[in-house]
Structure formats: C-alpha cells, structure tokens
Chains A and B, each alone.
Chain A
C-alpha cells in the first residue's frame, strides 16, 4: 500500500512483528497441508511487499521440509485495469524461478487483499507466462470490500474495515520494522 499517509494521529497497530511472524508460520503449514508437502509449488510475490512475504514463506516452508522452495516475483503493472486513472507508473520486477511455472501450483502472495483487482491482473499476467496446474492466493491481511469474485486460500488476518480506512503494511526488508496499521481515513 503506497499511500502517502505516514503516521496519522489515528493509527492503530493491528499486527505487530511477532504476530506477523506467527501468521506467516501458520500460512506456511497450511500451504504444506493443502498442497500435500508442497512438491510442485512456486511462490510468486506481487511487488513490493508481496515479494518479501513470499521470500519469508519460502524460508519457513524450506526449513520445515529441508529443501528449497522456488520463489519469484510477478509485476502486474502492465495488466492493471486502472492504468488510465493515473500517470504512467514505474514497473516492478518480474522474476520467475528457472523451472518456470508450467504444471506447477502457483501461490500468489500479496500483503493486503482489498478489491481483488490486483489479483485479477496477476491472473492475466500469469496467463501470458505459462500454464500452472493451479493458482492459489495468500494474503497477510484480508480487509474485505471485494469488487470481483476472488477469495484468498490463505489469510494471515481477517480485518473488518470501512472503505475510508487505510491499511498500511510495514515490513522489515522495506520499512525497517514489521507492523500492520489501520489508519482512519479523512472524515467528510
């Protein structure tokens, strides 16, 4: 969430560092359970913070199973449906594991699941990159307000919000600390 709001007065921490860590460990176990040992999985993070989360999940799963899990990133900028609403954006990185995604179970990883439009774009992008056996979705926070028929397979925390509120995710790799904050939006 690249919102310009920094530390507004009404910021409430929903998850702190240890909570995020526990949630990711739980999701790792759930992925292992659902995919029966995560034999063919590829974790693809959506830039920016989804990529860090994907690497953390891959680290956990790798440790539990004792073998490395392929992980990469999937930039969806060129597939967005709101490109014309804002000036042209800089592109993120797309990096696929060497073996590609054909026939694999791809787990998309994002920080916040909101309207579902990012995930739709990601599905389109995947379509141009190969043909996975299945696609699943992991999100650290599900804040509701879906605008498309999309749901997450793995959720760190379900967070009921109002549409005017802003969910901000901070991650060590990017922001120097781990936290999920809920900010009150502008009151009208």
Chain B
C-alpha cells in the first residue's frame, strides 16, 4: 500500500482486501465497553477541512481518537485561510507542527495530490472537488461485504448526479478492483464526458437495471455545484431517477439501498425508502468510523518506511 490515500485507484486488490479485513476486526471494538486502542499513541492527525462536512470530519476524528492519536481539527472558516493564506503555506505550518497524517477535504480537485508533495506525513483524501473520495468508497464496499458477502460478480448500480460525484468515481474504481460489476445510471447531462473510459457500464434506464441489481446506490443531486440547467425540473428528475417505493418493490429480496449522505429526501430517494430495512444509510455512518480506523492504522501504525505494507 502506498503512503498516501488519494485515489481509490491507488489501492491494489490486496490492499483493498487488507483494509476491509482489518476493518472487520476493528468493527468488534465498537461493541466493547472500552472503545479505544493504544496503537497510534503519540501520533498526530490533522483534519484539514476547506469544505463543509459533518459525517466525514466527525468520522475521521472518532477513528483517530479510538486509535489514541492526537487530533487537530482545522476548518477554513475562522482560520488564516479567510485572510488569504495559500494551501501551501497552510501545509508548511502543519508540517512545522509535526503532523503524521493530514486528512484533507478541499473544493479543488487535486488539492490532496499537491499537498502530498509538501508534507512528510501521510495524506488522506477526504473528498476533493468532483474528483475522489476514497474512504467513502471503502466504507461502501465494507457495508456491501457485510450485508452480501464477497463482492466478486455482484451487480452494483449507481444512480444520479455522477458528473459532480467524487463518491461515484471512487466507488467505480474500487468496486471494479474488487470484482463487482458497476453500472452508472444518470441523465446524459449528468455523466462526465470521459465516462466511456471508466471500468463500468452506463445506462439511462433505471427501471431496467433494478431487477438485476444487488446494490442500488443513490447519489445526492449536488445543487451547490450546478451552475447550469442539467435537467428540466426536480419533479421530472425525481420521476425518472428517484428511488420510490414502487421501484424498490422491483428489486430482488436481498438487494440493498445505499446513499452516501446527506440525502435530499423526496428528490433522489423517498423518505420511506431511506428508512426501510433495506437501507444501509445509518450502517454506512457506523462503518465509516471502522473503515477509517483501518486506513489510519495501516498508514500510520507501522514503521515510517515510506513504502509497502507487508502482510
């Protein structure tokens, strides 16, 4: 495994399985009365959030604390960034403070990659623009594996605003590494231009995909990133690509419904679907802590050799 986690494509199949297996073991910690391990004692993890986030930031913070690391939270609001400090100067400040890992969320695609060139610690991408969100893909894969078993040959359908979704890209890359068959379903305006080069299928017809899917993952319609008219009305989008009760009834009995959150209830997913037993949305949050513990342990738990993680 590489020293940074910037793209889901950085992970080989063995790396990904090692993270998921480690997460499986760490999941037991949350059932204990003492939910803490001494493993990262004396290590510092900086959460560097230039963009709003609830669950990812809290999840990384909980993960680092359960491993006994010291956590420094940094959000752009109220920091020197609002005075015009550049990413590089912020990075050099963190470097001077001795951060062993920097968890970064940024609105610019590629920011974690730049950061990795400036700091000695490990960089973990917690979402960069419309590029990638690898730990979300890992926790999604972990959730699927817990519900459905090994992912080889499983059919995963990812529905919605793929164009603006870093979750979709990371999931496509990771799931194909793990042997799942991914299909993207979206209106043509919400698919990236180069989607043909992604390791997945593309469809425009949600209803045709539903009976074949083991997993249906709904994406949030990202209004804040939409600067043009991508679909005529929200109502029309919801009619064609929203997951309602009737559509769920066409899925097979063991199939699950996922959503990375935050949800627009009534838009891409109906409230009753989000709260149904098929939905893994709350599990995904709990699994996020476990999966991020696994990532932090594997990046920081061993010797700082800047190289491979050995089995």
Q: Which residues of A contact B (CB under 8 A)?
A: 75, 78-79, 83-94, 124, 128-129
Interface of chain B residues 15 through 52 with chain A (CB within 8 A): 18, 21-22, 25-26, 28, 32, 34, 36-39
A interface footprint on B46-70 (CB within 8 Å = 1, 0 otherwise): 0000000000000000000000000
Interface of A is mostly: loop
Q: Cβ of B307 < 8 Å from any Cβ of A?
A: yes
Q: Cβ of B299 < 8 Å from any Cβ of A?
A: yes
A interface footprint on B225-250 (CB within 8 Å = 1, 0 otherwise): 00000000000000000000000000
Q: Considering the complex, give the chain A residue whose CB is closest to the CB of B25.
A: A91
Give complex CA distance A94, B309 in Å. Answer: 22
Q: Considering the complex, give the chain A residue whose CB is closest to the CB of B311.
A: A90
Q: Say yes or no: B32 contacts A88, CB within 8 Å.
A: no
Interface of B is mostly: loop
Q: Say yes or no: B304 contacts A78, CB within 8 Å.
A: no
Cβ contacts A to B, 25 pairs, < 8 Å: A78-B37, A78-B38, A78-B301, A79-B37, A83-B302, A84-B302, A84-B303, A86-B303, A86-B310, A87-B308, A87-B310, A88-B297, A88-B299, A88-B302, A88-B309, A89-B301, A89-B302, A90-B22, A90-B311, A91-B21, A92-B25, A93-B25, A94-B28, A124-B38, A129-B32
- For the complex of A and B, list the 9 residue pairs with the smallest distance between their C-beta atoms, beginning with the closest: A88-B302, A87-B302, A88-B301, A91-B25, A78-B39, A78-B37, A128-B34, A88-B298, A87-B310
Most chain A beta-carbon neighbours within 10 Å: one of B26, B38, B297: B38
**Given contact pairs A75-B25, A129-B32, a sample of 15 additional A-B residue pairs in the complex whose CB atoms are under 8 Å apart:** A79-B37, A79-B39, A83-B301, A86-B302, A86-B303, A87-B308, A89-B302, A89-B311, A90-B311, A91-B21, A91-B22, A91-B26, A94-B25, A128-B34, A128-B36
Give complex CA distance A128, B299 in Å. Answer: 24
Q: Considering the complex, give the chain B residue whose CB is closest to the CB of A128.
A: B34
A130 → chain B closest CB, angstroms: 8
Q: Considering the complex, give the chain A residue whose CB is closest to the CB of B1.
A: A88
Q: Considering the complex, give the chain A residue whose CB is closest to the CB of B297.
A: A88
Q: Say yes or no: B304 contacts A84, CB within 8 Å.
A: yes
From B36, B298, B300, B303, contact of A85 by CB (8 A): B303
Q: Considering the complex, give the chain A residue whose CB is closest to the CB of B26.
A: A91
Give complex CA distance A88, B38 in Å. Answer: 14
Residues of A within 8 A of B38 (CB): 78-79, 124
Residues of B within 8 A of A85 (CB): 303
A89 → chain B closest CB, angstroms: 7
Give complex CA distance A84, B299 in Å. Answer: 11
Q: Cβ of B96 < 8 Å from any Cβ of A?
A: no
Q: Cβ of B193 < 8 Å from any Cβ of A?
A: no
Q: Cβ of B208 < 8 Å from any Cβ of A?
A: no
Q: Considering the complex, give the chain A residue whose CB is closest to the CB of B22.
A: A91
Residues of B within 8 A of A83 (CB): 39, 301-303
Q: Considering the complex, give the chain B residue whose CB is closest to the CB of A127.
A: B34
Residues of B within 8 A of A87 (CB): 302-303, 305, 307-310
Q: Say yes or no: B302 contacts A90, CB within 8 Å.
A: no
B199 → chain A closest CB, angstroms: 27
A117 → chain B closest CB, angstroms: 14
Interface of chain B residues 245 through 276 with chain A (CB within 8 A): none
Q: Say yes or no: A90 contacts B303, CB within 8 Å.
A: no
B151 → chain A closest CB, angstroms: 19
B26 → chain A closest CB, angstroms: 7
Q: Considering the complex, give the chain B residue whose CB is closest to the CB of A129.
A: B32
Q: Say yes or no: A90 contacts B39, CB within 8 Å.
A: no
Give complex CA distance A85, B21 in Å. Answer: 22
Residues of A within 8 A of B25 (CB): 75, 91-94
Most chain B beta-carbon neighbours within 10 Å: one of A84, A92, A129: A84
Residues of B within 8 A of A89 (CB): 301-302, 310-311
Residues of A within 8 A of B308 (CB): 87
Residues of B within 8 A of A88 (CB): 297-302, 309
A101 → chain B closest CB, angstroms: 12
Residues of A within 8 A of B299 (CB): 88
